[in-house]
Amino acid sequence: MLFRTTSQTNTNQAIRFVANFNSNISKYQRQISSGVRLERASDDPVAFRQITTLSTQLQHLQSDVLAVNDTEAKLNMSVLNMQQSHDILVQAKSLAQQGVQANTPSARNAIAIEVESLLENMKDIASSQLGGSYLYSGVRADQPPYQFGDPQVEGGPLVADYQGASESSYAYIGTRVSIETFYAGEEVFENADRSEMLVYGETGAKNGAGTDSMVGRANLVVSHTLTTFDGTSGVLPGASSVDGDSVIGPSGDNQITVVDTSGTGAFGTVQLNGGETLSWSNTDVDLQVTGPSGRHVYLDMSSVIPGFSGTDGLTADGTISVDGGNTSLAIDFSASQTIVDSLSGGQAHIDTQEISRTGTDYLEFPGTANAFQVLHELAQDLRNSRDMSNANYANALDRRIGDLGEIADHVLVTMGRQSASLQSLKELEYRIEDLELEVETQLSDVKSTNIPETVLRLQNEQSLLEFTYSVTAQITSTSLLNFLR
Residue 454 clears pLDDT 70, i.e. is over it: no
Write the burial class of residue 451 (CB in 10 Å: 0-12 exposed, 13-18 middle, 19+ buried): exposed
Which CATH number goes with the domain that contains 82? Answer: 1.20.1330.10
pLDDT digits (tens, 9 = 90+) for 170-201: 888 876 788 888 899 988 998 767 889 999 89
Give the model's pLDDT for residue 474. Answer: 67
pTM of the prediction? Answer: 0.75
Are 309 and 238 found together in one domain? yes
Are 187 and 214 found together in one domain? no
Are 150 and 209 found together in one domain? no
More confident residue, 81 or 440: 81
Give the model's pLDDT for residue 435. Answer: 78
Q: Is residue 13 part of a domain?
A: no
Average pLDDT estimate for 158-168: 91
pLDDT digits (tens, 9 = 90+) for 268-301: 999 999 999 999 999 999 999 999 999 999 999 9
Q: Is residue 467 part of a domain?
A: no
Q: Is residue 384 part of a domain?
A: no
Q: What do you get for the CA distance between the two ends of the chain, in Å?
A: 25
pLDDT digits (tens, 9 = 90+) for 323-338: 999 999 999 999 999 9
**Residues 358, 218: Cα–Cα separation, whole Å:** 16
Q: Are 219 and 362 spatial neighbours (Cβ–Cβ below 8 Å)?
A: yes
Are 109 and 245 found together in one domain? no
Average pLDDT estimate for 129-158: 91
If phi > 0 it is left, if psi is from -120 to 50 it is alpha, else beta; for residue 393 that is alpha
pLDDT grade for 424, boundaries at 50, 70 and 90: confident
Closest Cα partner for 113 from 92, 97, 89, 127?
92
Residue 255 clears pLDDT 90, i.e. is over it: yes
pLDDT grade for 416, boundaries at 50, 70 and 90: very high
Are 261 and 222 found together in one domain? yes
Could you give phi then psi for residue 459, rounded to 5 degrees? -65, -40
Q: Is residue 475 part of a domain?
A: no
Cβ contacts of residue 88 below 8 Å, gap of 6+? Answer: 118, 121, 122, 125
Average pLDDT estimate for 110-114: 96
Write the burial class of residue 127 (CB in 10 Å: 0-12 exposed, 13-18 middle, 19+ buried): middle
Give the model's pLDDT for residue 194. Answer: 84
Are 221 and 357 found together in one domain? yes
More confident residue, 42 or 328: 328
Average pLDDT estimate for 431-446: 73
Are 66 and 113 found together in one domain? yes
Q: What percent of the chain has pLDDT over 90?
A: 58
Are 154 and 185 found together in one domain? yes
**Residues 331, 354: Cα–Cα separation, whole Å:** 11
Closest Cα partner for 282 from 262, 257, 255?
262
Is the alpha carbon torsion for 99, 101, 104, 110 positive or negative? negative
Average pLDDT estimate for 99-112: 92
Residue 229 clears pLDDT 50, i.e. is over it: yes
Q: Is residue 322 part of a domain?
A: yes
Are 305 and 233 found together in one domain? yes
Residue 439 clears pLDDT 90, i.e. is over it: no
Asked which of 37-41, 114-118, 268-272, 385-389 is least confident by mean pLDDT, the reply is 37-41
The count of other CB atoms within 10 Å of the CB of residue 167 is: 12
Give the model's pLDDT for residue 123. Answer: 96
Are 226 and 187 found together in one domain? no
Give the bridge partners for 300, in sequence order.
236
Q: Is residue 87 part of a domain?
A: yes
Closest Cα partner for 241 from 316, 332, 330?
316
Are 147 and 244 found together in one domain? no
Cβ contacts of residue 134 below 8 Å, gap of 6+? Answer: 127, 128, 140, 141, 142, 143, 144, 145, 164, 182
pLDDT grade for 70, boundaries at 50, 70 and 90: confident
Q: Is residue 44 part of a domain?
A: no
Are 108 and 255 found together in one domain? no
pLDDT digits (tens, 9 = 90+) for 364-395: 998 889 999 999 999 999 999 888 888 889 99
**Residues 222, 201: Cα–Cα separation, whole Å:** 11
Give the model's pLDDT for residue 1. Answer: 45
Closest Cα partner for 338 from 209, 202, 224?
209
Q: In terms of residue numbers, what domain contains 319? A: 198-365
Q: Is residue 240 part of a domain?
A: yes
The helix/strand count (H/E) of the chain reads as: 9, 20
Please state the domain count of the chain. 2
Asked which of 86-90, 148-152, 315-319, 347-351 is least confident by mean pLDDT, the reply is 148-152
Residue 456 clears pLDDT 90, i.e. is over it: no
The count of other CB atoms within 10 Å of the CB of residue 54 is: 20
**Residues 50, 36: Cα–Cα separation, whole Å:** 14
Cβ contacts of residue 65 below 8 Å, gap of 6+? Answer: 429, 432, 433, 436
